[in-house]
Structure 1
Amino acid sequence: MIADVPSGEDELGSDDRLRAAEEWLLGRELFGIRPGLARMAALLRRLGDPQTRFEAIHVVGSNGKTSTVTMAAALLARRGVRSGAYVSPHLVSFRERVMVDGEPAAPGLFAAAVERVREAAEALEADGPEAADDALDGPVTQFEAVTAAAFLVLAESGVACAVVEAGLGGRWDATNVLPDARRPGPDGTPRPAVAVLTSISLEHTRWLGDTVAEIAAEKVAVLRPGGTLVLADGLPSSAHDVAEARAAEQGGTVVEADPDPGADVPTPGAARYQRRNLATAIAAVGAHLGPGADRDHAAEREVATHVVVPGRFETVERPGPGEDGVVVIHDGAHNEAGFEALAGALDDAAPSRPVVAVVGVLDDKDPAGMLAAFDRWCDVLVATAPSNPRRLPADALAQAAGTALAGRDVHVVEGAHDALLRARTLAGSRGTVLVTGSLHLVADLRRGRGAGPGARF
């Protein structure tokens, strides 16, 4: 179990312990992104394999993962299942990635889990690649360390089912260590492992492949033998074919999510794309609970009404009735498909013009394609860059806007906070400011000026 959770006798308070834990995790960023399972499996063995102590719904995809995970965990909770969730990235604190009963992990509990992971990781690295049964092929990465800490927190919190978001791809992602076996259901028959594919688009091609089919194959590789694969509505045909083939290969079952949760369920967060994510979450929960479980429409309405997914078409500032003022919306759309979904949400919301978009993206994206996807809603562009080391420079983004947003006013402003100030001025007294392009940019604003880097993968 996780030892030394703060109880008043600690030499360091929980805030200090959390700060130290997060600084250690940030230091692991220098090891970069290195897909593979050997380090993760070795690390978890040292920690007692906490991932075997709860059931899981494993969610992969290009867009919609965090929303689907968050809503699925909330649906489970409202059906009496002690639930947890693991998502990425965070906005302010790493502990936001680990949710228990809808709340971020307690600071002391998360810090203690990271301390255990740090001890295990450093011991593993000191032993070196010749350590028996460990097959270490490099230092433990930041994402591996956070994932291991999350599994510890979920296990120690007594979670019955955790909804787990994959970080990069699926096959070689650190989350792909969840066990095949599941606990017996009400009839005594073991329930199948459940995997969910939310969407597919061309992304992370340097790791996942150059085609939609290749990327889909990497993602649905998480399906376990005999498992259930839930497919969101609207997948490209090539991705759907790959998913069907994987299920047949594994002796599994495919469940097609409905395209919409139904007329009696409101739109979560007023964003059209969230209806599809909620429908996918409903199908995932149904697959986990088994064929005898009926839908709980009251729970679905409650989740749609009350569950907020931070940074997903989230209105963070709005003037009061009858007052002038800028509306500020944060949306973490980070690829072309995400920007197309964002444009649909804006169509429904019909925000006040002008719409001034503060955009910052990472360097592995297609900025011209992203901007073109919502050009009808971008009256003015403020090009900036998130603090993440993989950011695309603001002037490069502005250059891409030259063709994607021909004739539009484009401003280049370094730094998220200064970019927001410029956008507010440009929006006037009744316009809309939209912050988008990357959750890393949203995170920079949430953390406050001078607070250092925000969201990290």
Structure 2
Amino acid sequence: MNTKPRSFEELENVFASLASAGIRPGLDRISRLMEKLGNPQMDFPAVHIVGTNGKGSTASFSDSILREAGYRTALYTSPHLESPDERLLIDGFPLSLGEWTGAAEAIQKALEEDDFLRSDPPTFFELITAAAFLLCSRNRVELAVVEAGLGGRLDATNLLGNVVLTLVTSISMDHMDFLGDTLEKIAGEKFAVMREGIPAFFSGSPAGLVPLFRERARAAGALPHVLPEEVRTENISVTAEGTAFSFFCGGGRFPIRTPLHGSFQVENCSLAAAGMLCLSGRFPRITGEALLQGAENARWPGRFEILRADPPLVLDGGHNPDGIRRLVESIRGIYGGKKPTVVFACMKDKDFPAGLSLLLKGAGRLICTSVPGNPRSADPFVLAEAARRSGWKEDAVEVFPDPLDALKASERKGQGTVCCGSLYFIGWMRTLILSRREELLF
């Protein structure tokens, strides 16, 4: 690079300029690049997390428990909400622009020195993943918690060389153009990351995929665990203050409390906790106390994040039908019969008619908007028409293409606001709301 980037946004542009366009599943390019970099993905043990919904929350719980146990951790997730440096945290903190720039320079040099990579460079996600693995190695992490990007089998994260645990969250229909047009095909891509001799935990959701999980685990020689068969939860409380439940696993009872909101966090937290307890034989500093403190200290912005309690102002990144179904469950569980206004924006390639139909059960009104500057953002007028065809009444649907106008229109109704539909949208709204905190939150 001719000049060093002065911000993470400029660094993101550097990676984009080095990358091939679009999503191109496959491991040839990233494998070659990692070899040129000295295979840093082999230098640290890792927890690999795949699934459709709940990966990020499960990763956050796992990382928080490991940090409470005293391990030096890396947490790699995607996409970011507000700043690219969120994608990799070392011991809970982002790295400096200088460290990321150093990784980018090493990658650029490797690309320039290889004829194949020059003519067919890795994608943006592959380059970011390569940089993250290089930074994990340079920072000598003791355990990395790594969330897969898309699928699993052909995802760049599947190059991890020392996976000690696989966690599989709930699976539903998403990214069908890349992963397959049935639930079984999608699950097969995700189950394919299991490793010989390594424990693999599946959330068990949906239950119909459990036989396929066991079959693929047997074929891989993995050690399968299905959450509902090994874990019991009782005394579940989901409120605006957070989530609490009794967790029974391995003969122990753990009274878990977490500030993460939503009924779905019981499943995500249980999956992480069961996995961490399984690792405790190999990583003995993982104790019951670390589990409880880790759950209590976990943070995961943008996933049923309550920015204001009354009337509620909630951000949720649910972007497929299963995610929106879980969002609606949480709205009804926390707010009862109250129906807030939903401000909705999503990507045009998502199944938004199904999501909009599900929102009828939890929202009183709908305001359709867009994600500024994002060419993949669906036209809000198209969203509104889809909502009406999905059962929304004509006078309950409005369109404000500018999201700030949409938010203000929702707030004027005084019923509370839930922003949802896309993580890109939630990242944009979160920055907007927190920058105007006094005006919008109090």
Matching of residue 158 in structure 1 with residue 140 in structure 2? yes
Aligned to 1:197: 168
Partner SS state of residue 158, structure 1: coil
AA at the equivalent of 2:425: L
Contact 2:66-2:286 within 8 A present in 1 as well: no
Aligned to 2:238: none
Contact 1:351-1:432 within 8 A present in 2 as well: no
- TM-score after normalising by structure 2: 0.86
State the Cα distance separating 1:267 from its structure 2 match: 4.5
Aligned to 1:56: 46
Residues 13-52 of structure 1 correspond to what in structure 2 (within 5 A)?
A: 16=6, 18-27=8-17, 31-52=21-42
Matching of residue 171 in structure 1 with residue 153 in structure 2? yes
Q: After alignment, is 245-254 or 293-302 more displaced? A: 293-302
Q: Distance in 1 between matches of 2:89 and 2:380?
A: 34
Aligned to 1:356: 341
Partner SS state of residue 376, structure 1: coil
AA at the equivalent of 1:315: I
Aligned to 2:376: 390
Aligned to 1:436: 420
Aligned to 2:270: 279
Residue identity over aligned pairs, in percent, reads 33
**Residues 137, 285 of structure 1: CA spacing in aligned structure 2 closer, same or farther, 3 A cutoff?**
farther
Q: After alignment, is 276-285 or 61-70 more displaced? A: 276-285
Residues 180-219 of structure 1 correspond to what in structure 2 (within 5 A)?
A: 181=162, 193-219=164-190
| Per-residue deviation, residues 370-416 of structure 1 (Å, max 9, x unmatched) | 12223222111111122433222211211111133422611112132
Aligned to 2:246: 262
**Residues 227, 366 of structure 1: CA spacing in aligned structure 2 closer, same or farther, 3 A cutoff?**
same
Residues 379-418 of structure 1 correspond to what in structure 2 (within 5 A)?
A: 379-387=364-372, 388-407=374-393, 409-418=396-405
Q: May I ask how many residue pairs the two structures share in their alignment?
A: 409
Matching of residue 227 in structure 1 with residue 214 in structure 2? no
State the Cα distance separating 1:105 from its structure 2 match: 2.4
AA at the equivalent of 1:360: A
Contact 2:8-2:84 within 8 A present in 1 as well: no
Aligned to 1:304: 295
Contact 1:329-1:434 within 8 A present in 2 as well: yes
Contact 1:18-1:111 within 8 A present in 2 as well: no
Instruction: Give 5+ residue unaligned stretches, structure 2.
Output: 234-244, 248-254, 436-442
Instruction: Give 5+ residue unaligned stretches, structure 1.
Output: 1-10, 130-135, 183-192, 320-325, 452-457
Matching of residue 87 in structure 1 with residue 77 in structure 2? yes
Point out the structure with the larger strand share.
Answer: 2
AA at the equivalent of 1:275: V
**Residues 421, 259 of structure 1: CA spacing in aligned structure 2 closer, same or farther, 3 A cutoff?**
farther
| Per-residue deviation, residues 13-67 of structure 1 (Å, max 9, x unmatched) | xx71534312213446760100010111111112111111100111000000000
Aligned to 2:328: 343
Contact 1:39-1:137 within 8 A present in 2 as well: no
Q: Distance in 1 between matches of 2:382 and 2:7?
A: 40
Partner SS state of residue 260, structure 2: helix
Matching of residue 148 in structure 1 with residue 127 in structure 2? no
Aligned to 1:107: 97
**Residues 148, 214 of structure 1: CA spacing in aligned structure 2 closer, same or farther, 3 A cutoff?**
same
Contact 2:328-2:362 within 8 A present in 1 as well: yes
AA at the equivalent of 2:389: T
Aligned to 1:138: 120
Q: Distance in 2 between matches of 1:148 and 1:72?
A: 22
AA at the equivalent of 2:423: L
State the Cα distance separating 1:272 from its structure 2 match: 1.3
